[in-house]
Structure formats: structure tokens, C-alpha cells
Chain A
Amino acid sequence: MDWLEEELRRALAREDPPAGFERRVRQAVAQRRFPARQWLAAAAALILAVGAGTGYREYRGRVAKEQVKLAMRLAAASANRIQTHVRGVLQ
């Protein structure tokens, strides 16, 4: 290997990204998985739409179902994010 190749290897050696990069990736992953605004809008739209053409009990049941699903997804996203955060700290 000649001199220039050696210098290029040194000049192009891998460097770590700026401090906090891993944490920012975790946050980006969490936000992508949990796009709050989209869920809020979807929840509102679903609850409005679900009433069309159904009996009242059926309507209430489907609304309740969507509420429970939304609640569990929000809870799951939070729990999952915390797991990822803890994992990052312990590494």
C-alpha cells in the first residue's frame, strides 16, 4: 500500500456521531411508532364514522372497542419506549 492510500485510510477512519445520537434515534423510533396526531385524528374519525348504519348498542360497543384499543396502544407505546430507553442506558 502506498503513502496516499495509508493517509486516506487515516483520513477516512470511522468516527462516532455527535453525542446523544443513540438517544435521538430512540426518540425518532418512538415518535414514528406513536404518531400522536395521527392517532388523535383517527380516533376522532373512527368514533364519528362508526355510528353510521348500526344499532345503538352495536354503536356503543364499537365506540367502546375503539376507545380500549386506543388506550392500550398508547399504553403499549409508552411501555415499549421505556423498555427501549432502559436498554439504551444499560448498554
Chain B
Amino acid sequence: MLVYLTKTGCDFEGLVHEHQAMVFSIAWHYLHDRALAEEVAQEVFLSLHRNLGRIESDAHAAAWIRKVAVQRAIDEGRKRLRRPQVTLEDIPEPASGSSASDPMLGSLLRRLVASLPETPRMIVVLRYQEDLDPAEIAEMLQMPVATVKSHLQRSMALLREKLARRSSGAGER
């Protein structure tokens, strides 16, 4: 097979390859449904393909893709009009204390995050998956920085409370 390819202009395939994990993970952590997350991710890249002419640089592409991923995940979540309801009884006990490598703890946290209300949920995902600071999150979600910080504080408090209640044996059977 003799085929030579040269890169020219905006590389759609490259952008898919580079950003697929980001897009899929935003949708997955927000929606907590892998099949749906893949659908959303695919729509994001179809949208990218339609709008390639507007992309000015690699950095612009990354920001654009992330923004569209966030919007699509939120839209999809609203369509479903529900979020996973997690009670303490549903939560298996972590294997041991607060082990950093406990996969059960990771799974538990993902489910707890997915059970947060819409806006705080996306804020937590953007903060801890994408490592965006509150100002960047505020710009992306078009809300005041103070509101973002307030949501973050309340969400962390809620997560701590749920975890504390679990470890204190409140959910023991």
C-alpha cells in the first residue's frame, strides 16, 4: 500500500484523537451513563466538524470543544429530567478507610457527584476533572464567580457529610 498523507490546515482527526477522553469523561461523569456519554461525545465531534471553519488554533479548539461538551451534557441531562438517586443504603462500604487507591471509593464518589443537582454537578466535574479554577468555570457557565464558589463549597460539604455518615455506620445493615 503506497499512500502518503500530508497534514494540512485544521486536523479534525487529530482533534478527535486528542480530545476524545476529555469530551467522553465530561459526559460520563455528568450523566453517569456510558452509552449516553458516548452518544453525547459523538454529537460534540459532529458539531466540531460542522464548525471547523470557525476554529482558529489548537488552543481555541480545545476551549471550544470543552464548552460544547459541557452544553451538550447539560442538555442531555435535562432531557432525561432525572439524575441518579443515591441513598446511603446503596453505597457499599469502602474497603478500608480512605485509601487513595480504593476503586470502590472512586465509584462511590462518581455516583455521589452524579446525584448532585445539575449546576453544582457540572461545576464539580469542571473543577476536579478539568482542573478549571472558579473564574474559568464562571466564564464557561456564564455565572458569577461567587456563585461558582458557593456551589463548590456546598457540594463539598454535602459530599463530606454523606461520606461521614457512611463511615460512622449510619448505613449499616
Contacts and interface: CB of A to CB of B under 8 A. Distances in A.
Direct chain A–B contact by Cβ atoms under 8 Å: yes
Interface of A: 3-18, 21-22, 24-26, 28-29, 32, 83-84, 86-88, 90-91
Contact of B21 (A3, A9, A16, A32): A16
A32 B51 CA distance: 13
Contacts of A5: 128, 156
A5 B129 CA distance: 11
Chain B, interface size category, equals 35 or more
Given A8-B113, A12-B129, A18 B46 contact: no
Contacts of B29: 12
Interface stretch (B72-80, B98-106, B133-141): B98-106
Contact of B38 (A13, A21, A83, A90): A21
Contact of A11 (B12, B16, B110): B110
Contacts of A3: 98
Contacts of A91: 13-14, 17
Contacts of A84: 12-13
10 contacts: A5-B128, A7-B98, A11-B107, A16-B21, A16-B24, A18-B38, A21-B24, A21-B41, A22-B13, A22-B16
Contacts, number: 99
A87 B12 CA distance: 10
A84 to B, nearest CB: 7
Contact of A9 (B22, B28, B105, B128): B128
Given A4-B159, A29-B46, A12 B13 contact: no
B25 A12 contact: yes
